[in-house]
Chains A and B, each alone.
Chain A
């Protein structure tokens, strides 16, 4: 990122090559069409180029994934695919994650770990992250009590972390 702050286009291209699949994948999963996913991908990387200082430290992958999700949520809101327009705020304002787990994550590993979750844990996690809906909407869609939804989200995330790190969460 230091090189990008110095306006090094080669460094930016390398960053794009490294992370565009993550950005595009999240956007595609959330928006459902390749054109919109590309628009979001482009917007995210232009944001990185235009304001590299927004990323301060920690895991770049975690940060860019959240930026992408929020951008896709903006697009969903703009389209009014969610009539109530009450999507969760999801960007913590002060986040520094020095996470050894992330260093081991790749797409296949993550997908396998997620697939191993019991469906009652995986479903609310995927609905919440990719559909951008609130815990209340998850409860309504799944017919599961609100408290149970949140407990399952927590249990699922903890289990996911264990699967990815091989240590107790």
Chain B
């Protein structure tokens, strides 16, 4: 299976709604630049809607009722008619923009640039990297090492820190990753990052995962440190 075949599988998983938010955001970004995947998504969405329709038929078997109680319709229409005199809320197109921004913000701030304003095709290397990332995060061959707020994920030579529900660092501070090479006695500084408002981030580390014995994360001053200055919030052995 080629990496793009894997992406097509991810597109199907996305169409069904079974990807995590960070993974879904990467698939969405990929589809903006990949006509093949976008077309596949559009084909599969109708099948997903058919899955929903299958439940309509199942309502009989589940309750013996043909549908919701007629009383529900009566209650609903009473509310609707009483509200009919009031003007509807505006369509709020900003809501879609905000929602899309929130979705994309699930990806690491600064770690994977998923700017909505990026023009399609402007940075094919970036798109390719995102494709690699989603493939790595979801690959059956990937290895996951959990810690309290997330996971260290490796797939072959690539290594990621994926966090969720990670509190924002104090003002003037960032999170910094550290790597301990096999056989080394001290950690090496790696990238700094901040989670998004939801506490999520996916951070690729510029190392060969196969040479790394452990990964740590600590809170450091803006710009990072040469050596950890605080007790790590995570210290994860990933020796293979």
Interface residues of A (CB under 8 A from B): 5, 7, 9, 12-13, 16, 20-22, 24-26, 28-30, 32, 34, 37-38, 41-42, 45-46, 49-54, 59, 61-62, 65-66, 68-69, 86, 88-95, 97, 99, 101-102, 105-111, 113-114, 125-126, 128-130, 132-135, 138, 145-148, 150-151, 153-154, 157-158, 160-161, 164-165, 169
Q: Is B171 at the interface (CB under 8 A from chain A)?
A: no
Decide: A113 and B44 in contact? CB cutoff 8 A. Answer: no
CB distance from B3 to the nearest CB of A (A): 12
A157 to B55, CA, bound (A): 16
Q: Known interface pairs A20-B68, A24-B67, A53-B90. Does A128 touch B17 (Cβ–Cβ under 8 Å)?
A: yes
Q: Known interface pairs A62-B45, A102-B49, A150-B9. Does A88 touch B83 (Cβ–Cβ under 8 Å)?
A: no
Contact among A45, A94, A126 for B96, CB-based, below 8 A: A94
Interface size class of B (residues with CB under 8 A): 35 or more
A42 to B47, CA, bound (A): 25
Closest to A159 in B: B47
Task: Name the residue in B16, B20, B69 with the highest tally of chain A Cβ atoms < 10 Å from its Cβ.
Answer: B16
A42 to B74, CA, bound (A): 11
Which B residues are in CB contact (< 8 Å) with A161? Answer: 43-44, 46-47, 50
Decide: A28 and B17 in contact? CB cutoff 8 A. Answer: no
Q: Is B84 at the interface (CB under 8 A from chain A)?
A: yes
Q: Known interface pairs A20-B68, A45-B76, A148-B140. Does A129 touch B46 (Cβ–Cβ under 8 Å)?
A: no
Closest to A108 in B: B57
Decide: A65 and B81 in contact? CB cutoff 8 A. Answer: no
Dominant secondary structure at the A interface: helix
Decide: A97 and B46 in contact? CB cutoff 8 A. Answer: yes
0 or 1 for each of B46-62: is its CB under 8 Å from A? (1 = yes): 11111111111111001
Decide: B50 and A41 in contact? CB cutoff 8 A. Answer: no
Decide: B19 and A153 in contact? CB cutoff 8 A. Answer: no
Which B residues are in CB contact (< 8 Å) with A108? Answer: 57
Q: Which of chain B's residues 117-148 have a Cβ closer than 8 Å to chain A?
A: 138-141
A109 to B46, CA, bound (A): 13
Decide: B88 and A51 in contact? CB cutoff 8 A. Answer: yes
Contact among B6, B21, B55, B140 for A26, CB-based, below 8 A: B55
Decide: B77 and A25 in contact? CB cutoff 8 A. Answer: no
A153 to B50, CA, bound (A): 14
12 pairs of residues in contact across A and B, judged by CB atoms under 8 Å: A16-B76, A24-B56, A28-B63, A89-B19, A93-B100, A97-B45, A99-B42, A106-B53, A110-B53, A113-B50, A151-B1, A161-B47
Decide: B28 and A107 in contact? CB cutoff 8 A. Answer: no
Contact among A42, A94, A153 for B72, CB-based, below 8 A: A42
Q: Is B186 at the interface (CB under 8 A from chain A)?
A: no
Which A residues are in CB contact (< 8 Å) with B141? Answer: 147
